[in-house]
Structure 1
Amino acid sequence: MVSQLAKRFIRRFLKGFLSGVGLYAGFKTVTALVKNPFRERLPNIAKEILSKDCVRFAAFLGLYPSVYEFLVRTIHKIRGTKDGWNHGIAGGLAGLTIVLENPVRRRTLSLFTISRALGALVSTLITRGQIPSIVHGDTLLFCLSCSFLVYCTALRPHLLPKGYYYSVLKWSRDYTDDNLNQLFRVPGEKFLTCNEVGLHTDSCTSHALRDLIQSWPMFAKLYLPIHLAPVLIFRHKLLINRPAKVLRSLIKNTVMSTTFLASMVMLAKYVVCFLRTTLREPPPLRHYIPAVAGLVAGLGVLFERANRRKELVLFLIPHTLYALFVWGMEKHILPWVPYSSVPLFALSTASIMHAYEREPDSMTPLINGILRYFVGERVDKSKRAIKLRTESELM
């Protein structure tokens, strides 16, 4: 029995560790190409793989699923029963392995899992009829998060993760930290037109329409690999069996996602532009202007499929939580606790692993697919419906 547990532990660890090395190397390569697509050679992958950071990342991806599986079997043996508590306790204890990660990635993963745990909890409560379902609730929550994040981008960028803030500026195509300071943040004596700070020479409406068209190819390059990766990793059998239908779905999903992001960015910029020009006031910008712009821009999520909207909300929530956390510390409402992300991650993974085993419909197909790859199939054999639902949502 012990030798069998040890073999399973080692096998699961090696799968997770090697997958972590591959993901790390792939991420470094793609990041280098995105930053400079015309570079003459790829980064030194061997050096990246042997780095301490790569080992920490891979070790976590190896340890979490192997410790989780070991604990599920051990707890079941001790308690003598199979229920959701086994998976919740094992998921929480295994989550403590996040301590191996570097502080930045540990914080990011903690916020990611918190949002997923909250999403799973709300979905479960709605399914059980304990809270009412709100029509277009995902869209409303997305708009509210978008409103807050656009406000932070325009007026309080220090509340956002630095990488996320500069990604937003890159998506905008013409905003920079310097011209945002000049237009929105630093007090001035007169109203500044977009032309005066070098944004555009034509009208705001003409610029918005042209910007929408010109940004579309850039966002298509961003979204194609995002939609392609899950197909190749988790649904390659479906691709082999039904290639034409999967490819049509891939093209359709890429087009809709690209249209969503292009329209969202355009609306955020255009509404700010329109309200500024209407008021014609010197900077700083009134606080409600970027908030209203974000609220309107969030409606672009309606271009996405309904089941994708939940995933997009869960993408924004970690950034929103981070900004609120920084704001709370700034106002001395929240204290700084070293390693606080470790217990938060553990609590979140306890909820997520319980949901994965007992309430899989409460999580998105992407999260179900990731967990199935790393921790294995669910113990409950009634998983066929999940697989069929996942395949139908791909279509």
Structure 2
Amino acid sequence: MSPSGDDSTVAGDGCLCEDGGDGRKKCQQCERKSKKSGLTSSSSSYALLSFDSFPVEDYDKRWRIFTASVKGFAIGAGIKGGLSLFAILARLRRRRSLSSAKKVHMASGGEDLILAVKETLRYGLFLGTFAGTFVTARWRALLAGAIAGPSMLLTGFNTQHTSLAVYILMRAAVLASRCGIKSKRFGRICKPLTWAHGDLFLMCLSSTQILCAYILKQDSLPQSYKSFLNKHGGKDPIILQGIRDIACGMPFTNLDQIQKYYKSTGVDVVLDPQMKVPCSIIHENQSCSWHAISFFIQAYKRAIPVYLPVYLIPALIVHRQGLANRPFTILAKGLFGTARSSLFLSTYCTSAWVWTCFLFRLFKRCNVTMLALGTFPTGLGLAIEKKSRRIEISLYCLARAIESFFTTMSEIGYMPHLKNLKRVDVLIFSLSTSIIMHCYAIERDVFRSKYLNVLDWVFGVPLPPYDTTPRKNKNQTMEME
């Protein structure tokens, strides 16, 4: 019935619809308009994120749970499978360059493939179960997100994912801070978080912990991240051991090995056991400035293979339809992004050695304090990246830095109770996802559009009143005809 009590409703555009008695407009034009307006409101309303909001049929619930689980599985398996594929190709390439004696200690290609398939399935089940559990829950999003958190155990009961959990916690903290900025009660407290260059400060802060751990205590870093730093840090572990000895005030233990290492590269260097600064260990007979130039060139070559798939593969997938019309524009954009990000990574790694060498020479000493001071401004290299990527990179590094910091504190005895916590990663992940899903349901505007679109695609925002799934629409259309 119309609000005026009349039996007809004016829909606009010269259309006059008759009410069919069930509260629904039978005009096909008005049907499309009603559906379009309902779907638009569903993308910004908390009520539409709960099954309790409308009389959604059981079929719709089951279909939404099924699709969310399948999409979650596809995302988890796709991401982990892609990373595993690149790792296998990298190991095969490295295996070809090794001698027969070293190949014996490496896993075979078949073993790598089996492990990659297992990991792919585990991560697919993890995200699929998480999405399905959240969609199934009738409770508030805060509680539903927490209940879905333990799905992380599907990746392996004995496999810790502290790095992932801490990173998700950082993402949850960002969303919570954005909500705080909007709040009248907490707006003043959270105002410093609106600083335009806060991402650079976080990167500098993270660099201090990460790069000091890279030299002084690599065991506090995740294995994959440690391998990444060893590759792009550009220094052999033997050299790092020499820097570690002098920074910690210990007698040198491997000067002979360092000299042999440089001799194997065609450089004869004589190291003084009484040296105060490790510049001769870091760059043998080169000057600090020439070492910076030569290191930057090598670092840039190492960085390009890292970012080339990061930009080109998504471009080929997302813009595959536009490649036929404007291939040069899309590929040029990907190549520019690759060159820019490679410049950031190579500058970041080079500046770490430049700043530390500068302070060593300036103060005529090398200790942990000098390392911390020298690695802090390294994070300024992030300014090379475009603004939209800075916060992502800084949060990723901050998560690694936090994990490394607490691991180090626990091992040296300042936080002994941390060793007694089992599967703290699951606890952190559950807390983080509860915050994220709560924000997703209530404060959707704190998400960036690309993340919000992915979440809506995975979880499937429920349809507004009287709308059904596409399959049921088709059946009703057949009945009307």
TM norm. shorter chain > 0.5:
yes
1:307 paired with 2:388, answer yes
Q: Is the 8 A contact 1:200 1:207 kept in 2?
A: no
Distance change >3 Å, CA 372–CA 251, structure 1 → 2? farther
Separation in structure 2 between the aligned mates of residue 108 and residue 169 of structure 1, nearest angstrom: 18
Q: Structure 1 residue 366: deviation in Å?
A: 6.0
Q: Is the 8 A contact 2:88 2:113 kept in 1?
A: no
Tell me which residue corresponds to 2:175: 120
Cα deviations across residues 50-83 of structure 1 (Å, max 9, x unaligned)? 53x4432221121111111122xx33xxxxxxxx
Q: Which is richer in helix?
A: 1
Q: Is the 8 A contact 2:78 2:120 kept in 1?
A: no
Tell me which residue corresponds to 1:96: 150
1:145 paired with 2:145, answer no
Separation in structure 1 between the aligned mates of residue 68 and residue 228 of structure 2, nearest angstrom: 35
Separation in structure 1 between the aligned mates of residue 328 and residue 204 of structure 2, nearest angstrom: 35
Mean CA deviation greater in 337-346 or 185-194:
185-194
Separation in structure 1 between the aligned mates of residue 354 and residue 92 of structure 2, nearest angstrom: 29
Mean CA deviation greater in 241-250 or 180-189:
241-250
Aligned runs of 1:284-323 on 2, under 5 Å? 285-323=366-404
Q: Structure 1 residue 378: deviation in Å?
A: 8.7
The amino acid across from 1:184 in the alignment is: R
Q: Is the 8 A contact 1:159 1:327 kept in 2?
A: yes
Q: Structure 1 residue 233: deviation in Å?
A: 4.9
Q: Structure 1 residue 338: deviation in Å?
A: 1.0
Aligned runs of 1:164-175 on 2, under 5 Å? 164-173=225-234, 175=235
Tell me which residue corresponds to 2:162: 107
1:374 paired with 2:440, answer no
Tell me which residue corresponds to 2:240: 180
Q: Structure 1 residue 301: deviation in Å?
A: 0.7
The amino acid across from 1:118 in the alignment is: A
Q: Which has the larger radius of gyration?
A: 2
Mean CA deviation greater in 349-358 or 138-147:
349-358
SS, match of residue 190 in structure 1: coil
TM-score by length of 2: 0.67
Separation in structure 2 between the aligned mates of residue 245 and residue 268 of structure 1, nearest angstrom: 35
Tell me which residue corresponds to 2:305: 221
Q: Is the 8 A contact 1:191 1:280 kept in 2?
A: no
Separation in structure 1 between the aligned mates of residue 168 and residue 370 of structure 2, nearest angstrom: 32
Distance change >3 Å, CA 219–CA 368, structure 1 → 2? farther
Aligned runs of 1:235-246 on 2, under 5 Å? 243-246=327-330
Tell me which residue corresponds to 1:204: 288
Separation in structure 2 between the aligned mates of residue 288 and residue 193 of structure 1, nearest angstrom: 13
Tell me which residue corresponds to 2:331: 247
Separation in structure 1 between the aligned mates of residue 403 and residue 179 of structure 2, nearest angstrom: 25
Distance change >3 Å, CA 369–CA 293, structure 1 → 2? farther
Cα deviations across residues 348-392 of structure 1 (Å, max 9, x unaligned)? 011112233444453456644553453346989xxxxxxxxxxxx
Tell me which residue corresponds to 1:159: 220
1:47 paired with 2:118, answer no
Tell me which residue corresponds to 2:440: 356
Distance change >3 Å, CA 171–CA 197, structure 1 → 2? same
Over the aligned positions, Cα root-mean-square deviation in angstroms equals 3.0
1:25 paired with 2:81, answer yes
Q: Is the 8 A contact 1:150 1:293 kept in 2?
A: no
Separation in structure 2 between the aligned mates of residue 23 and residue 217 of structure 1, nearest angstrom: 25
The amino acid across from 2:298 in the alignment is: Q
**Ranges in structure 1 where 5+ consecutive residues have no aligned partner:** 76-85, 381-395
Tell me which residue corresponds to 1:342: 426
1:69 paired with 2:135, answer yes
Distance change >3 Å, CA 24–CA 142, structure 1 → 2? closer
Separation in structure 2 between the aligned mates of residue 340 and residue 195 of structure 1, nearest angstrom: 41
SS, match of residue 37 in structure 1: helix
1:15 paired with 2:81, answer no
Q: Structure 1 residue 113: deviation in Å?
A: 0.7
Separation in structure 1 between the aligned mates of residue 287 and residue 201 of structure 2, nearest angstrom: 31
Q: Structure 1 residue 194: deviation in Å?
A: 5.9
The amino acid across from 1:100 in the alignment is: L
Q: Structure 1 residue 244: deviation in Å?
A: 4.8
Separation in structure 2 between the aligned mates of residue 276 and residue 226 of structure 1, nearest angstrom: 36
Distance change >3 Å, CA 49–CA 34, structure 1 → 2? closer
The amino acid across from 1:112 in the alignment is: Y
SS, match of residue 376 in structure 2: helix
Tell me which residue corresponds to 1:393: none
Q: Is the 8 A contact 1:21 1:54 kept in 2?
A: yes
TM-score by length of 1: 0.80
Q: Is the 8 A contact 1:25 1:48 kept in 2?
A: no
Q: Structure 1 residue 230: deviation in Å?
A: 4.0
Mean CA deviation greater in 181-190 or 295-304:
181-190
